[in-house]
Amino acid sequence: MGGHAGAGLLCAPRTWNDTAMKTLILVDLQNDFLPGGPLAVPMGNEVVPVANRLMSQYDMVVATQDWHPANHGSFASQHPGHKPGDVIDLAGVTQILWPDHCIQGTAGADFAPGLDVAGIQWICHKGTDPGIDSYSGFFDNGHLKQTGLNDYLRRRGVREVHIMGLATDYCVKFTALDARELGFETYLIVEGVRGVELDPGDCAKAIEEMQAAGVRLVTAAAA
Ligand code: VGL
Ligand code: ZN
């Protein structure tokens, strides 16, 4: 196989070996996170046109979907006596309880209306294990298991990821922090994110945390 491998390397398309395979990661652009949804992110709908405009500028576009079973442990409804916003210990991991959201196969888990889904090459489902949440697109919240996103990107030679979506202070933040930790050159598209902001200042704090970890901010125009 040696000769063939050598020829393959010489003939490989530029995109596989010589570029960073710049990839756009769309985080949780799903109905339940839009205004009117159970876990509404204020102005979350505003990032959909940003995503549509940017997609064609990337070598690859992948999307994460929060994809919970109906009995997910992050739902307040699963913990009698608790309400959304309460904080509990879920199998050793600190868990904020949320309203039921993004249940697998429901309309609430569908992509936001108007999102150019044809431009998405791969969808990564997360939060599927009822026993643990997964804010990050890469790992569960206990950092115990990977979702498959890292392998998917690595196999395709991706070294640079640009992240946008919902929500700045949860899934976007943890996806970006893990991307850095996994060694990706990581950019946050500033106009492409909106946050939950349970406490005032949460989004600003999240952005500072990302920057401190080496995530670079980029405007949509420069992405
Ligand atoms: C998210 C809370 C719970 C998010 C998902 O997409 O940021 N937040 N599940
Ligand atoms: Zn969730």
pLDDT tens digit sequence for 47-64: 999 999 999 999 999 999
The reply to whether 90 falls in a domain is no
For 160-217, what is each residue's pLDDT tens digit?
Answer: 999 999 999 999 999 999 999 999 999 999 999 999 999 999 999 999 999 999 999 9
What is the total count of domains within the chain? 1
Centre of ligand 1 to C-alpha 171, Å, is: 5
Range of the domain at 149: 22-70+104-218
Helix (H) or strand (E) holding 49: helix 47-54
CA of 13 to the centre of ligand 2 (A): 39
Percent of residues, the chain, with pLDDT higher than 90: 90
Q: Which of 22, 124, 126, 169 is catalytic?
A: 126
Peptide bond just before 167 cis, omega within 30 deg: yes
CA distances from 26 to 50, 51, 64, 85 (A): 11, 7, 6, 25
How many separate helices (H) and strands (E) can be counted in the chain?
A: 6, 8
How confident is residue 20, by pLDDT bands cut at 50, 70 and 90?
Answer: confident
Asked if residue 15 is part of any domain, the answer here is no
97 lies in some domain: no
Predicted confidence at residue 119, as pLDDT, reads 97
Ligand 1 atom with minimal separation from the 165 CA: 6
Domain annotation covers residue 178 = yes
Rg (CA), the chain: 18
Q: How far is the CA of 171 from the centre of ligand 2 (A)?
A: 8
| pLDDT at 2 > cutoff 60 | no
Residue 179 lies in a domain: yes
- Any domain includes 8: no
Q: Whose CA is nearest to atom 1 of ligand 1?
A: 171
Query: Given pLDDT bands bounded at 50, 70 and 90, which one contains residue 111?
Result: very high
Ligand 1 residue neighbourhood (C-beta within 6 Å): 28, 33, 39, 66, 98, 135, 166-167, 170-171
Closest CA to 50 of 31, 24, 32: 24
Residue 189 burial (CB count, 10 A): 24
Mutate to test the pocket of ligand 1, among 25, 31, 33 (most ligand atoms within 8 A of CB): 33
Give pLDDT, residue 18.
Answer: 57
CATH code, domain carrying 153:
3.40.50.850
Model confidence pLDDT, tens digit, residues 116-170: 999 999 999 999 999 999 999 999 999 999 999 999 999 999 999 999 999 999 9
- Residue 171: active-site member: yes
Specify if 129 maps to a domain: yes
pLDDT category at 35 given cuts 50, 70, 90 is: very high
Task: Compare 84 and 8 and report the one with higher pLDDT.
Answer: 84
For residue 201, tell me if it sits in a domain.
yes
